[in-house]
Amino acid sequence: MNIGIIGLGLIGGSMAKAIKESTSHKVYGYDILESTVLAAQLTKSVDGILDTETLRECDIVIVSLYPQATVDYVVSNASVFKKDCVVIDCSGVKRSVCTKLESVAQKNGFTFIGGHPMAGTQFWGFDYSRSSLFKGASMILTPHSTDIAVLEKVKELFIAIGFADITFTTPEEHDRIIAYTSQLAHVVSNAYVKSPTALDRKGFSAGSYKDMTRVAKLNENMWTELFLENRDYLAEEIDLLIKNLSQYKNALENNDEAELRKLLKDGRDTKKQAG
């Protein structure tokens, strides 16, 4: 197959490298940064540049851009994709992207599937991309009356490049759960470092501080867009966490040993259950 990848950052770059390493598909890639396109070519992460000509030849197109840029790209190339082309995006929110692009795809006769690879690091950009990024991870897909043979083809590709499993869900369900598992974690990490005590931490910290703040150094442009597109679910999760944290704070202020122990045991039991 010919596979097009638009956006060669951490995710798109890793997709390109993984496909080149694990399959015999042809990869055409493009990035808005000229230096990234050059780096992708020099490292043989792509076979050629994705432009209007090569895009016409693509059987699968993976869009690894921010949400709004994803929508813009697919809309402006809606008439260029082959009729049996499958376009899959990788952005971190699905409701806003899928609602728009599913209808664009339907009107233009290609297939669109919302996607979100559950993999990443605290770094971003092509320099950090690697073929092993998806090893053991879950690939989320939100198919919408998609032909089963098409789904099989797509699934095969993602399993071939290292994903351990495919999670099928709806855009709504994706956004609800991702607000908690990923977005809230980034908010907490980013907020956690803001105590003035953070500056005195040298010599006083071990694993738990490191884990808690690993993703604090985030790309504020990308995350602002992701958070705002999902602000209903995310605000709800923050609110719930604040309520839960307040319970510990109250127990401490009341010097309430039984209540504090109960709160901690509840958390331990929940973690056991949730894994």
Restricted to residues 52-81, the positions that interact with its own copies (CB under 8 A) are none
Per-residue mark of binding to its own copies, 84-123 (x: CB under 8 A): ----------------------------------xxxx--
193/197 Cα distance (integer angstroms) = 9
User: In the complex, what is the shortest distance from the CB of residue 150 to its own copies, in angstroms, rounded to a whole number?
Assistant: 21
Nearer to its own copies by Cβ, of 84 and 256: the residue is 256
Nearer to its own copies by Cβ, of 34 and 257: the residue is 257
Contact residue for its own copies among 5, 39, 88, 140 (CB under 8 A): 140
Nearer to its own copies by Cβ, of 77 and 96: the residue is 96
For residue 127, the tally of other CB atoms under 10 A from its CB is: 13
User: In the complex, what is the shortest distance from the CB of residue 226 to its own copies, in angstroms, rounded to a whole number?
Assistant: 10
Residue 261 CB-half CA count within 13 A: 3
Contact residue for its own copies among 138, 142, 151, 161 (CB under 8 A): 138
User: In the complex, what is the shortest distance from the CB of residue 69 to its own copies, in angstroms, rounded to a whole number?
Assistant: 16
52: helix, strand or coil: helix
Among candidate residues 92, 85, 46, the one with its CA nearest the CA of residue 65:
92
Nearer to its own copies by Cβ, of 87 and 139: the residue is 139
173/169 Cα distance (integer angstroms) = 6
User: In the complex, what is the shortest distance from the CB of residue 117 to its own copies, in angstroms, rounded to a whole number?
Assistant: 9
User: In the complex, what is the shortest distance from the CB of residue 113 to its own copies, in angstroms, rounded to a whole number?
Assistant: 16
Cα dihedral 264/270/271/275 (nearest 10): 170
Q: Where are the alpha helices (DSSP H) in the chain?
A: 10-22, 34-42, 52-55, 67-76, 95-108, 148-160, 171-178, 184-192, 207-213, 220-229, 231-253, 257-274
Nearer to its own copies by Cβ, of 49 and 238: the residue is 238
User: In the complex, what is the shortest distance from the CB of residue 152 to its own copies, in angstroms, rounded to a whole number?
Assistant: 19
Residues 164-183 that bind its own copies (CB under 8 A): 165, 167, 169, 174, 176-182
198 sits near its own copies (criterion: CB under 8 A)? yes
Distances (CA, A) of 269 to 240, 258, 265, 266: 18, 16, 6, 5
Nearer to its own copies by Cβ, of 107 and 201: the residue is 201
Residues 225-244 that bind its own copies (CB under 8 A): 227-228, 231, 234-235, 237-242, 244
User: In the complex, what is the shortest distance from the CB of residue 79 to its own copies, in angstroms, rounded to a whole number?
Assistant: 32
217/59 Cα distance (integer angstroms) = 37
| Residue 136 CB contacts under 8 Å (≥ 6 apart), including other chains | 162, 163, 164
Nearer to its own copies by Cβ, of 84 and 266: the residue is 266
